[in-house]
Structures are given as C-alpha cells and as structure tokens.
Amino acid sequence: MEREAVLVGIDVGTSKICALIGEVSRDGSLTIVGKGVVPASGLRKAVVVNIDQTVRSIAGSVDHAERLSGYQIDRAFVGVGGQNVESQNSRGAVAVSGHTREVTREDVERALEVARAVTIPSNREVLHVLPRGFIVDGQEGVKDPLGMSAIRLEIETHIVTASATAVRNLAKCVQAANVKIDELVANSLASAETVLSDTERDLGVALADIGAGTIDLALFMDGSPYKTAVLPVGGNNVTNDVAIGLKTSLQVAEELKIQHGSCDLSTVADDEVISVSQLGEAAGRTVHRVDVCRIIEARMRETFEMLAAEMRASGDGVLPAGLVLTGGAAQLAGAAALGREVLNMPVRVAGPVGIGGLTDNIMNPAYSTAIGLLYWGARGLESSEYGPLPPAPMGGLLGKFRDAARNLFPLPPEGPRR
C-alpha cells in the first residue's frame, strides 16, 4: 500500500505520556510503526506543574517511539487536556460578494473571520474554530455552500479555548523535548476521531474520555461538536477512595481496582475475599471484594451524575445515541451498566479499532486519544486543497495551510477511520 505521510501523535496525560508514529496510506488506513509509553511525571490533572519532569517524560516516550520505528520525530500533533479547556458557539454572517452572487471560498473565509471575532479573554487561547454548518439566505443545514447562489451567508462555529498559561507551558515542554508542534488538539475531539461513528455524531452523542485525572467531554449533534469541556475527576479519584476506605496504599488500591473492581454490585458475591498480602502488603490481610466494589460504585455513580449535570447544562436537547465511554478508567467492569442506570440513556465503552502495525497493548480505550491524534492529522491530509504531505512529519507554512483548509472546508463526518 503506497504511503502518503508519516504522522506523530503525543498524548500528554495525567498518568502516562504516549507517543505514536503512524504511516497513513493513500486509502486512509493507518499503520502504527512506532510507540513509546512512559509514566507521566510533572503533571497534575493533565496540566504541567513541573517543566523539567514533564520534558523528561515526553522525551522518554519520543525516544522509545523513534527506536521502534527508525524515524526521527520532528513534529507532532499534541493533545491538550486539563480543566481549563472550554468552548462556546458563535455565528458569523456576510453578504455574498461578486456579480454572480455565488458563494466562494473567500465568502466562507470572511464569514469564518466574523464568527471568530467574539470576545475571548486575554488569558485564553483559541485551539479550534470548527464550522458546524452554514445558513444560506435563511436555509439551515447546509454543509457545503460553495457554488450556491446566495445573497447572505451565515456560518455556525464551535470555538474551543484553553488557558493560555497552561497551553504555553505544555508547548514549552514539547519543544524542549526537541519536537515542534503541528497542532494542539483538544483530547476529547481527538478521541472522537477513533471511537464515534457517523450515525452517532448525526443523531446526537456524548463522548466521555475518562482518564486518570480528568474526564474530557464532547457533545455532538448533526455531525459536529457543540460543547467541549473537562471535568476535574478521573480514575485516580476512585483509587484514592479505595485507599482511604480500606486504609491501604495507593499502589495496592490501584491494583485492587484494576484486578478486582467492579461498578456492578449484582455480580459480586458477599463472601468473596481478596488476600491483600499478595498485592504488596506484608501482613496476611484480607478484604471483602464487595467492600472494594461498593467504594468504586459510589464514586463512579457520583461521576456519572456529574456528567449528567454537565450534559443537561448544555441545554441542546436529548442525545439519542447516548454516551460513549473511552479512556483508561472506562475499562472498569460494569461501568457501562452503571452509566445506563444513572443516565437513563444508551451507554457503551469503545476503544480504537481497525488499525495495523505495532498494536500490542494499545488497542484499548486508554489509547483512544493518542490514536485519535493520528486520525486527526490524517483527516487534515485528506481535506487539504494543497495536496498530500511528503512522507515525513512536517508542519511550517504547509502545516498552517492544511489546518486552515481543514477548519474551513472539513470533509463530511465519517466516524472512525477504519
């Protein structure tokens, strides 16, 4: 299969840093040729709190990926998380220029500039301005207005912003690891590239990427995102509760959660006993599994209630396709069943699929963001009017052109790239 480009994605998370190198073929298929996963250090709830430690972690993951692939990483798509990620929707309208009164790219660009001209506080930085749809002379639901006869063109956009300080510190760490940034991408939008289907996006769906420190949330309707947010809870909160409730170490609590935890109490026998000594404690101590699971269920129930409140606050109607869970903490047994009970909507757990190459240990929900970053870059290749990238990670002026082309003239949503 002829290779079109090599792309790099770096997911800078609370608990791990993951660098992936992927080859994109002409037919859009993705093959992982390099991966590097190292424990994260220097981050708290996906925000940099120690520059030196974060740089070392990023450099370590990049080094592992380079050794496996034989490529030298020059630049990458980098995920942005943390509670500072927010969004708003904006609309811009212009009169269609030209004597033919047909919508041109220039008209679309002018409308987009008007939509962008909303008041953004000086301490915020714009990550994305994503077109949600167009209105041509009052006709809503237009996806591509180019060439249409019109007098007035309106564009609806979804604007995602983040704390300027947090973004600059993250960028500083990536650049200090000798990697230039192709684009900063909100984690939830990256994850959506690999786990959501066309139908779900069109009907209306919520995506919750539950990481160690935060939950990246994105709500979609009519094929486009209309709300992007981050909740300050994650898998670490469950681990902390288990450690406090059972008076044990965080390491033992994490192993109890992963190996024996469940959100579905109906599947747990009251008399099932776990030997904690086998999990790192010297004394021959035992705990009842049902006690572990009660703590986990209570915290996850509270988490789903927070998600419900956030979705209600969006005020944009129901989500017929329900909630899609991804991220490392979404792998807790019984999470989907508990979500269905609390939210009263369809809930499923999803991870990356349909990818070739070095996929050992990464074809699970914990790596949705990292793989989604590669798909995000691949989508930019397909929608760029400036042609495909050379077969090497790159950016510069061409990268900016590609980004502008994708934001202005996106392809119709196609769900996961398979």
Each residue's pLDDT, cut to its tens digit, for the chain (418 residues) gives 456 789 999 999 999 999 999 999 888 889 999 999 999 999 999 999 999 999 999 999 999 999 999 999 999 999 999 989 999 999 999 999 878 889 999 999 999 999 988 888 899 999 999 999 999 999 988 988 999 999 999 999 999 999 999 999 999 999 999 999 999 999 999 999 999 999 999 999 999 999 999 999 999 999 999 999 999 999 999 999 999 999 888 998 999 999 999 999 999 998 899 988 656 655 668 899 999 999 999 999 999 999 999 999 887 667 999 999 999 999 999 999 999 999 999 999 999 988 999 888 999 999 999 999 999 999 887 654 323 333 333 333 334 334 444 444 443 334 443 3
Tell me what pLDDT residue 279 has: 60
Q: CB–CB of 129/112 below 8 Å?
A: yes
Question: Domains along the chain?
Answer: 86-163 (3.30.1490.110), 197-349 (3.30.420.40)
The model's pTM: 0.88
Tell me what pLDDT residue 405 has: 43
Tell me what pLDDT residue 100 has: 83
- Kindly tell me the number of DSSP H helices and DSSP E strands found in the chain: 11, 19
Tell me what pLDDT residue 281 has: 58
Tell me what pLDDT residue 39 has: 96
**CA–CA dist 29, 22 (Å, integer):** 10
The Cα diameter of the chain in Å comes to 85
Tell me what pLDDT residue 381 has: 75
Tell me what pLDDT residue 99 has: 80
**CA–CA dist 374, 31 (Å, integer):** 10
Closest CA to 215 of 112, 334, 279, 300: 300
Which amino acid makes up residue 306? Answer: M
**Both tokens assigned to 152:** 């007035």
